[in-house]
Structure 1
Amino acid sequence: MSNRSADIVFHLIKSLEKAEKRHFKLYITRNSAKQDLKIIQLFDAMDKLEEYDEKWLLKKMGAITKPQLANMKTHLYKQVLASLRLLKTAESTDLQLSEQLDYARILYHKGLKLQALKILEKAKELAKANSKFNYLAQVISLEKKIENLHITRTSQEKIEQITQESLNISEHIQSVSKLSNLALLLYRWYTQHG
């Protein structure tokens, strides 16, 4: 990881709240091998810095080389993001929907199509309730894929409903896209012409 990227890790760590830092340490120790304890040392060292200083970090971390430090920072960055995702999932509908889509894909690839469809049905309800139309399009797309490629004994009525939902969502997303493009062009014009 370059110095610029290391600054990204440093800034991420500095942006964390006290509870997020505590959660990260619990997350790492719960899911860690011995090498991840060095990750906590690196996390603590970077947290103590006012400005990023790679030379100081190399001294502080002991017998590690610059390439090893770069690898540790990459790993640290990924682990902090994973910890934040786990912590923030309950607060974010987008993260919940993304997680449910991931679970449905995993179940689908494991051959558990009916279980995947149940999760997709829940995800569809959540997306509709929160007007998350892009996620709804992804849910319906996966639902159509499962129904199309496998015998799930779904009724003709349900298939027609999925087809109609797909058409409605496509039209809605297209309309929103056109309007957001116009808004962006209008904003650009406004900033240029006052």
Structure 2
Amino acid sequence: MKLRYLLLGVLVMTQLPLAAQNTMIYRPSYFSITWNMGLPLGETADYIGRYSLRGIGMEGRGFIDDHWAIGGGFGWNVFYQQISGGSVTPDDTPELTVSGEQYRYINTVTLSVTGHYYWNRDRNIVPFVGAGLGPWWFNRRLEMGLFYTDRDVWQFALYPEVGILIPFGYERNYLHISARYNYAFESSDIAQSWMGFHVGFGF
């Protein structure tokens, strides 16, 4: 039993220097890959109210001092909902009304320039806040049997973000957790908004 505690103590003591070296203060840049989930809000929720689990994001950030980083990111989200019954009047053919089972989709592609502020980069757990903005592409699609409507639109969008980085392993890897409020300004009579929840890995 004493030997077990002695080995455990030696293991902990040998890992402390590695943990100290694992702090983000030594990193000139940071790259993350995340699973992006989304909760529709506003006009987006009026069209599709269902929580989305379909999404991915990639982002790179370069540090300009001990706290600030600038970079860019790409994201893709899909919102989907099946609605039983109901009628739809297409925008381009107002004299036509279609009834039946509805399959609604919103595809989004986000391209953003980003800026972030980090606390405690000299420690293992690193909280951060930031923001991003840029041109985002949206596709709204409605399918009802053989009938469908499809709309593409580019919108200027932005988001504030808050998150935390939690280290793991020996190569300065991080568990990346963050939340964003995404808002795309109205274009072609469409505005988009949703809460984004991101979980992934940083390197």
Which structure has more relative contact order (CA 8 Å, sep 6+)? It is 2
The alignment's TM-score, normalised by the length of structure 2, stands at: 0.19
Give the strand-richer structure, 1 or 2.
2
